[in-house]
Amino acid sequence: SWGRVCNELLKSVGKSNFTTWIAPLRMTGVEDGIAAFEAPTKFMCDWVSRNFADAILREMRHAGVAVERVDFRVSQLRPIPAREVVRPASSAAPSRPQGPDARSDDELPGAPLDARFTFDSFVVGKPNELAHAAARRVAEGGPVTFNPLFLYGGVGLGKTHLMHAIANELHKRRPEMRVLYLSAEQFMYRFVQALRERQIMDFKGLFRSVDVLMVDDVQFIAGKDSTQEEFFHTFNALVDQGKQIVISADRAPGEIKDLEDRIKSRLQCGLVVDLHPTDYELRLGILQTKTEAYRGQYPGLKIADGVLEFLAHRITTNVRVLEGALTRLFAFASLVGREITLDLAQECLTDILRASERKVTIEEIQRKVAEHYNVRLSDMIGPKRLRTIARPRQVAMYLSKQLTTRSLPEIGRRFGGRDHTTIMHGIRKVEELMTADSQLTEDVEMLRRLLES
């Protein structure tokens, strides 16, 4: 029954999401594998279908309902509420009518917060310590010291985690504060919807009535002119009122293409901090923390020494991939009932490990090989035929073929415009020599390890 499904949903999406988005739904029936629901507004229908449809499907199936799809419609029974929270910037809250029509302040149309994204679960290291400290400061909810806080960095480095952590912390410490977190995409979506439904004043009122506004992935609004315009006005209105703004993006403000200059300069006014790519220590720290967190879930969990170190060393792309690898490893190990060893990790993570292999360039190879054999880098690509130079050059050709995806003609170009048959010959020569010359084999192996690390 829907009631039972609701109990499960409450657990999986969390209480506040549940109350805001799921509880107002009315299930009207299941027919031909389609579960139909009614929600009070168009916005809710869209929101729930974008953010919670999968969870609803999953829990219904869990409860044994044969369902392929969920469908949301605006409820025919209740009229669409004319307005959401409208509170002009300057009007004091206590003067608002407290009748049954007064809506409570916690109904901000933000994106769902992930309760797991807290400061406690955020591992701090050199690459992110500044961003973390700044986020902590904002989360104290004290007087605004920098505005906005602009966090930027590559995919999966923890921007969204930090923003949720700020919101989660503020909810705890300063429950009276109106904190609104949403992605730039959602900002645009709400804006366009308000235009369409002629509720732009409501939209403005709502966004100007918050104490903290957090907009994630702001690069999304680049090139979207009217959304940028609205964002700019919202931004200014809040800054003027001394309200805190937190913004994230995948690059520095000045580097976002098709973003208006006045917005760029506004975004640079406060504190701009970047999250650097993770280093080995941070990755290991994250893996250890996550492993501890998993212990409850997998009681018999056994991990051989060196596995986490191996992963931290090999998966350098981003934290999301690192987490994904760990999750898969634990699931796999518990499924087959084996200890997590290096072999098991290599077996079950082949694709991830391959995808995150470090990309070695031909220039690096030439440099390392030249260093090793103590010859000049310029001789690597030069014409000299002396054995003492030709041999290292051939080793570099061999390694270029082995460690990069470059074709023979491309490699030839990088070796002073040599013909691809010359490269082919060089590679064959090294292969041939290696069968008899153990010193050469050792050299090549050593160079390979050096280049791959």
Q: Which residues define the annotated binding site for ATP?
A: 156, 158-160
Q: Among 5-13, 16-24, 156-164, 201-209, which window interacts with Mg ion (CB under 5 A)?
A: 156-164
Which member of 155, 336, 446, 450 binds ligand ADP (CB under 6 A)?
155
Among Mg ion, ligand ADP, none, the one that 123 touches (CB under a kind-dependent 5 to 8 A) is ligand ADP
Q: Does the protein bind ligand ADP through residue 158 (CB under 6 A)?
A: yes
In the complex, what is the shortest distance from the CB of residue 288 to ligand ADP, in angstroms, rounded to a whole number? Answer: 11
Q: Among 228-236, 315-323, 372-380, 393-401, which window interacts with ligand ADP (CB under 6 A)?
A: 315-323
- Look-up: residue for tokens 């409208």? 86
Which residue positions form the known binding site?
156, 158-160
Residue 307 identity:
V
Among ligand ADP, Mg ion, none, the one that 12 touches (CB under a kind-dependent 5 to 8 A) is none
Sign of CA dihedral 362, 363, 364, 370: positive
Q: Does the protein bind ligand ADP through residue 160 (CB under 6 A)?
A: yes
Which residue's CB is nearer to ligand ADP, number 112 or number 153? 153
Which member of 18, 21, 37, 122 binds ligand ADP (CB under 6 A)?
122
In the complex, what is the shortest distance from the CB of residue 218 to ligand ADP, in angstroms, rounded to a whole number? Answer: 12
Which residue's CB is nearer to Mg ion, number 159 or number 401? 159
In the complex, what is the shortest distance from the CB of residue 301 to Mg ion, in angstroms, rounded to a whole number? Answer: 29
Residue 17 · residue 106 · CB < 8 Å = no
Residue 280 · residue 136 · CB < 8 Å = no
- Look-up: residue for tokens 């235009």? 195
Compute how many residues bind ligand ADP; rule: CB under 6 A. Answer: 17
Among Mg ion, ligand ADP, none, the one that 157 touches (CB under a kind-dependent 5 to 8 A) is ligand ADP
List Cβ neighbours of 95 (8 Å cut-off, separation of 6 or more): none
In the complex, what is the shortest distance from the CB of residue 216 to Mg ion, in angstroms, rounded to a whole number? Answer: 6
In the complex, what is the shortest distance from the CB of residue 119 to Mg ion, in angstroms, rounded to a whole number? Answer: 17
Binding mask 239-278 for ligand ADP (x = CB under 6 A): ----------------------------------------
Among Mg ion, ligand ADP, none, the one that 336 touches (CB under a kind-dependent 5 to 8 A) is none
Q: Does the protein bind ligand ADP through residue 84 (CB under 6 A)?
A: no
In the complex, what is the shortest distance from the CB of residue 206 to ligand ADP, in angstroms, rounded to a whole number? Answer: 25
Task: Using alpha carbons, select from 116, 123, 120 the residue that is nearest to residue 281.
Answer: 123
Q: Does the protein bind ligand ADP through residue 20 (CB under 6 A)?
A: no
Among Mg ion, ligand ADP, none, the one that 320 touches (CB under a kind-dependent 5 to 8 A) is ligand ADP
Please give the distance of CA 24 from its chain centroid, rounded to a whole number: 30
Across the beta sheet with 34-39, the strand order is 26-31, 34-39, 69-74
Which member of 134, 167, 214, 286 binds ligand ADP (CB under 6 A)?
286
Among ligand ADP, Mg ion, none, the one that 340 touches (CB under a kind-dependent 5 to 8 A) is none
Q: Does the protein bind ligand ADP through residue 159 (CB under 6 A)?
A: yes
Which residue's CB is nearer to Mg ion, number 75 or number 160? 160
Q: Does the protein bind ligand ADP through residue 171 (CB under 6 A)?
A: no
Which member of 218, 319, 340, 380 binds ligand ADP (CB under 6 A)?
319
- Look-up: residue for tokens 């992110």? 128
Which residue's CB is nearer to Mg ion, number 159 or number 190? 159
Residue 376 identity:
R
In the complex, what is the shortest distance from the CB of residue 233 to Mg ion, in angstroms, rounded to a whole number? Answer: 25
Which residue's CB is nearer to ligand ADP, number 128 or number 404? 128
Which member of 42, 320, 413, 429 binds ligand ADP (CB under 6 A)?
320
Measured CA to CA, the distance from residue 363 to residue 366 in angstroms comes to: 5
Q: Does the protein bind ligand ADP through residue 157 (CB under 6 A)?
A: yes
Which member of 17, 75, 160, 356 binds Mg ion (CB under 5 A)?
160
Write out the residues near Mg ion by the rule CB under 5 A. 159-160
Give me the residues that bind ligand ADP (CB under 6 A), please. Answer: 117, 121-123, 128, 153, 155-161, 286, 319-320, 323
